[in-house]
Amino acid sequence: MHILHVVGARPNFMKAAPVVAAFKAQGVRQTLVHTGQHYDAAMSDVFFEQLGIPEPDINLAVGSGSHASQTAEIMTRFEPVVLESKPDLVMVYGDVNSTVAATLVCAKLLIRIAHVEAGLRSGDRTMPEEVNRLVTDQLADLLFTPSEDGDINLLREGVDAQKIYRVGNVMIDTLVRLLPVAQRVTRDDGVFDRPYALVTLHRPSNVDDPATLERLLRALRTLSQDVPVVFPVHPRTRKRIEGLTQWQAGPNIRLIDPVGYIEFLALQTHAKLVVTDSGGIQEETTYLGVPCLTVRRNTERPVTATIGTNVLVGDDFDRMLAEARRILKGQGRNGSIPPLWDGQAAARIADIVLATQVEIEAQLTGSGN
């Protein structure tokens, strides 16, 4: 069997790493394609190294662009790769443009598609990621969901129940494997010496509008009067912050450069609370038991708010401050870890894929008799 994996952005790396390892343990032939959708050597290469992902066999080097141009360019460059390599199955991850572009190519070439992290829905089609999820899940042959809400969403949308497999969260596989390493991380800047709030921001809804971004940053400066704020700044966000003339960080907000996966995991484990607009961080903080405040009006990961430690505060930054102060007083939300978030999701995926391949080959043999 030959499996081709498609990754395009850093969130995909954490999801693909344990799956690639699980198939390697089974002796399966694999090809790794990096579309280059989000490629920055300083931010991508370190992730590959830390996660133990082999160097991509192919890098399409697509680069940035509008959603339409980027998706079209990925399709154009990916199609010849598929035609030449002839995989039995293409595995796509998450909800980036690379995910839907590869899926469209394979669907038209009649090549089987597996979607890891299927069924997640925010209900907000103004988010490009939501459109990518919807299209990918309608075309995929195997849909691997991280939680029960994913199953429910897919069934409601008319997906055949026989295609749906709840396997757990592959991002947690990576976290479980590397958490002992992260717990040994030290810093020489004193960050770990006292409680702090960890912040990440990159969503267009938060950083692209100067008025919204300035309100959010002012709220963080107010929060920094109660607890130090550590803010690894995404390059996109830093550019927007530098465009503001009326905001100064203040002495208790530490803006730092982006860090690798292990270093960021260490920052999460030591944090008193996390303020974010990232989907994956909602999941990681839930597993770690760290209170999380998500500055979004919705989430495609509702299990983090119903079971986990996540609280959606939307764009109500006064509420964000109030919730943060509750956490600092020891009155934050007590969460638990969702079912199947146990570090074994990738092994389940490998077992299911290999079992379905045996069934397909048996059917082909039977039809040939």
Catalytic residues: 202
What is d(CA 1, CA 277) in angstroms, rounded to the nearest whole number?
39
Taking the C-alpha atoms of residue 159 and residue 154, their distance in angstroms, rounded to an integer, is 5
Residue 362 in tokens: 């048996």
Minimal CA–CA distance to 275: which of 328, 342, 337, 236?
328
Contact call for residues 47 and 13 (beta carbons, < 8 A):
yes
Strand pairing class (29-34; 197-200): unpaired
38: CB partners within 8 A, 6+ apart: 8, 9, 10, 44, 64, 96
Beta-sheet strands, E only, within the chain = 2-7, 29-34, 58-59, 89-93, 112-116, 142-145, 164-166, 197-200, 229-232, 253-256, 273-276, 292-294, 310-312
- Both tokens of residue 111? 């090549």
Q: How far apart are CA 118 and CA 114, in angstroms?
A: 9
| Residues 6 or more apart whose Cβ sits within 8 Å of residue 347 | 22
Question: Tokens representing 125?
Answer: 């089609």
